[in-house]
Homo-oligomer: A and B are copies of this chain.
């Protein structure tokens, strides 16, 4: 503000928790990438012609084509006059009509219930039941949300409460999807980091969990355990036995399980299979089958990749009824999740069946994407591991590789002398030299003395190969320079 007038909202008077939030996904490297794009447009000379954004899990931004079936339903719901148009197959019209009939005033432009449209919640429950091999799913436990992040936020903020005079704490993996650390900082909940075991394909090591929680109990009251499966940024798919051990650990330590399962449709690893935490919990039987759990899913990932539509759901299991009432009230102040995001979720959980007119096209599009993901996951793993000084666990799921980079000692020292984090410098130099934008491992957390970066596998296959070759060249040049 001009002299003579004081700002009321300054660094000294702003929410201190928001001030210290860190969110690497929109940090200095993506910001610099956007600047470089503008420089390229202006004709500034660079050793590359375009910025390749491997920094964000956004399939359609990288050229992934939306699924016709989904988009047809969305167009019909948005502009119902198209229900008379012969271009649109009967099964897309049936689904669009089912949504519209469930909307107040038969319009997607009306508010839905804050928990979402009933017919969609019911369809989600059917999807989950089928996914979990027949284990019951009560649609009253399904809460639609504007993207999984919104759903996760709504659950985590419930935990903000001192217990026995102690600050609440939540266990989160390291490396982690940075949303979790950001939310814990925002809500002033103690962050209890546990390391994923890189030598065991990023599994959770129960003795590590035990050590960490014992230490944490000295300063806070651990309330919940966040598990991400398949993992972001780490790309692992947890084996069933690991999930069983995690559930038993959570039971013993009285932890609420927060299962981030948004990549459940992104599973490629040979022998890898997705098991939901709920399924395993239920199959373990009592007392585990009575534990509290919240699981999240999104329209943004998988073959659909509809990030911009903001569709997602939460399944909440075994809630205390009074706590559930507070939760439902708290989301009611957000009015309702977006109707079109909900519709997208409906299309995802209610795909065309064999015999329906959209079936063939849908399967062709979906299978092509799934095959491509699988191929790219393998290419990424193989090509990264072919670089001297880089080692990468198999990309079994999700859409990321998180290779460990062995940095020359001189490079590390040079970075530290400048007060910089070595892998941040590495990622920035990669960007400036090649146009490739990745996120340094330090943005996700990593074991001390190790360095990583996260890259998505979302570039088109041929481009992905070129990118990996460029990373190889960059890495070799760096070795030559510093060794």
Contacts of A62 in B (CB 8 A): 105
**The residue from B5, B18, B309 contacting A339, defined by CB atoms under 8 A apart:** B309
Q: Is A161 an interface residue (CB 8 A)?
A: yes
Q: Which of A14, A71, A158, A161 has the most CB of B within 10 A?
A: A14
Contact residues of A: prevailing secondary structure:
loop
- Contacts A14-B326, A79-B72, A82-B75 given; does A1 touch B334 at CB 8 Å: no
Residues B104 and A58 in contact, CB atoms below 8 Å apart: yes
Question: What is the minimal beta-carbon distance from A98 to any residue of chain B, in angstroms?
Answer: 16
Residues B14 and A158 in contact, CB atoms below 8 Å apart: yes
- Contacts A75-B82, A107-B60 given; does A339 touch B308 at CB 8 Å: yes
Residues B159 and A15 in contact, CB atoms below 8 Å apart: yes
Question: In the complex, A323 Cα to B336 Cα: how many Å?
Answer: 29
Question: In the complex, A72 Cα to B326 Cα: how many Å?
Answer: 39
Q: Among residues 250 to 271 in chain A, which have CB atoms less than 8 Å away from a CB atom of chain B?
A: 254-256
- Contacts A5-B291, A7-B292, A323-B10 given; does A18 touch B158 at CB 8 Å: yes
Question: Which of A142-150, A272-280, A371-379, A461-469 has 4 or more CB atoms under 8 Å from chain B?
Answer: A142-150
Contacts of A7 in B (CB 8 A): 292, 318-320, 323
Residues A15 and B105 in contact, CB atoms below 8 Å apart: no
Query: Can you list, as one digit per residue, whether each of A291-302 has a CB less than 8 Å from chain B (1) or not (0)?
Result: 110000000100
Q: Is A131 an interface residue (CB 8 A)?
A: no
In chain B, what residue has the closest Cβ to A253?
B8
- Contacts A23-B332, A163-B13 given; does A309 touch B340 at CB 8 Å: yes
Contacts of A307 in B (CB 8 A): 109-111, 335-336
Question: What is the minimal beta-carbon distance from A219 to any residue of chain B, in angstroms?
Answer: 18
Contacts of A104 in B (CB 8 A): 58, 60-61
**The residue from B66, B161, B336 contacting A15, defined by CB atoms under 8 A apart:** B161
Contacts of A330 in B (CB 8 A): 15, 18, 21, 186
Report A's interface with B, CB cutoff 8 A: 1-2, 4-11, 13-19, 21, 23, 25-26, 56, 58-64, 66, 71-72, 74-75, 78-79, 82, 103-105, 107-112, 114, 146-147, 149-150, 153, 157-161, 163, 179, 182-183, 186, 223-224, 254-256, 286-287, 290-292, 300, 305-310, 318-320, 322-323, 326-327, 329-330, 332-341
6 closest Cβ contacts across the A-B interface?
A308-B339, A61-B104, A75-B79, A61-B110, A7-B320, A60-B107
17 contacts between A and B (CB under 8 A): A2-B290, A9-B158, A9-B323, A10-B320, A10-B323, A13-B163, A14-B161, A14-B326, A23-B333, A58-B110, A59-B109, A72-B79, A108-B308, A111-B308, A146-B310, A179-B333, A338-B338
